[in-house]
Amino acid sequence: MALRTLDDPAVRPLIDGFGRRIDYLRLSVTDRCDFRCVYCMSEHMTFLPKAEVLSLEEIDRLASAFVRRGVRKLRLTGGEPLVRRGIVDLVRSLSRHLDSGAIDELTLTTNGSQLARHAADLAAAGVRRINVSLDTLDPDRFARITRWGRLPQVLEGIAAAIAAGLHVKINMVALKGLNEDEIDTMLRWCGAAGHDLVLIETMPLGEVEEDRTDRYLPLSAVRHDLESRWTLDPIPLSTGGPARYVRVRETGQRLGFITPLTHNFCESCNRVRLTATGTLYMCLGQDDSIDLRAVLRGSDDDGAIDAALDAAMAAKPKGHDFRIDRRDAAPAVARHMSLTGG
C-alpha cells in the first residue's frame, strides 16, 4: 500500500481536542534495559514476555502510520533501545522517511552502554543526534545510581558517537543528596566536550525501592543557584520536546530544564508515546491509552489505524497530574518509565 501524505485530502493531521498539533512520536522498542537506575525501576524487574512485544515490522508499520498523519520527528526509546535485536535494521528502514522528506528527524535516547558497537551504523542510517542519559561522572556513584552500569563503557560509547559524527546531548536527572553537587562539574565537562546538557526532575512513575520525596530536587532552585556562578542567557530554542533552554555564556553550550513538577510543559505538548506492546499513551502522566496492537493485528487496512489515532486525539488530556507528596507515597502513575518509553 502506497504511503499517503498530508497533500492527500483523505489524510488529516493529528490535532487533539485542545488544538495542539501532534508531530512527535516517542516510540519504545523494548521495555528491557541493561541498567537498573534507582529512580527508574526496581532492581528485580519483571519484563514483558517477548511474544507481547511488537515485531520490528509492526513497529515500522505503526510509525509509518504516524508519519502519514503528519508526525515529523521519531524518537526511539526503551528501556534501552540498543539492546533490542535488529534495532539498526529498524533505523535503516525508518530512515526512508528522512530520505523522502516526510520527517525532519530520526533519533534515539540511550544509556550509552551499547553505543560503541552501534554508533557508526546509526550515523550511516541517518541518525544525526542522540540523547545519552548520564547522571554522574563519578564511577562509584554511577554504579550506585545504575546498579549494573559501568561508567567507562558509557564514556567509550559517547566517544564512538562523536567519532561517528553524531551530536550528543546529555540528559541528567537531578537527584537531591545524590548528584546535586555534580551539576557544575557536568556543565564544565559538557562545555569542554561540546555537549548540550538537559537537567530533568525525577518523575513519579512506577514503584521503586527509594522514597522519591528524598530525591526530588526542584529545578527552579537549581537554576537560581546556578545563576550565582554562571551566566544563563534565555534563548528561543525548541527541539520539539519539553525542555526550556538557556545558553551558558561561559561555555557557549546550551542548558535545558525539564520540569514536570515545578513548571509543567503541557500547554505546548506535541507528542505521544507508543510502548513496545503497541499501547499508545497520549500523556506520560496519565493512564489514558489506545491498544494499537489489536488494531494492527486485526486488519491490513490502515484505515483502522487512522480511526484509532483519531480516537486517541479526542482522548488526549490537557495535562498530567504529576506530584511528589510525602502524604501519598504512591507514584502518580503505576507503570515504570521503561515501559512507557523515556
- Residues annotated within the binding site for S-adenosyl-L-methionine are 39, 79, 133, 203
> What is the Cα–Cα distance from 245 to 243, expressed in whole angstroms?
6
- Residues annotated within the binding site for [4Fe-4S] cluster are 33, 37, 40, 266, 269, 283
Whether 175 contacts 324, CB under 8 Å: no
Q: Are strands 254-258 and 196-201 parallel, antiparallel or unpaired?
A: parallel
Cis peptide before 79 (omega within 30 of 0): yes
> What is the Cα–Cα distance from 338 to 40, expressed in whole angstroms?
7
> What is the Cα–Cα distance from 117 to 91, expressed in whole angstroms?
15
- Burial class from Cβ neighbours inside 10 Å (0-12, 13-18, 19+) for residue 211 reads exposed
Whether 296 contacts 306, CB under 8 Å: no
Per-residue b/e over 45-77, b at no fewer than 16 CB within 10 Å?
Answer: bebeeeeebbebeebbbbbbbbbbbbbbbbbbb
Residue owning grid cell 542522540: 130
Q: Are strands 196-201 and 167-174 parallel, antiparallel or unpaired?
A: parallel
163-to-89, 102, 133, 319 alpha-carbon distances in Å: 21, 28, 19, 40
- Residues annotated within the binding site are 26, 33, 37, 39-40, 75, 79, 109, 133, 169, 203, 266, 269, 271-273, 283
- Residues annotated within the binding site for GTP are 26, 75, 109, 169, 271-273
Which segments within the chain are labelled E, that is strand? 24-28, 73-77, 105-110, 129-133, 167-174, 196-201, 232-234, 244-248, 254-258, 271-274, 279-281, 289-291
CA angle 120, 123, 124 (to 5 degrees): 85
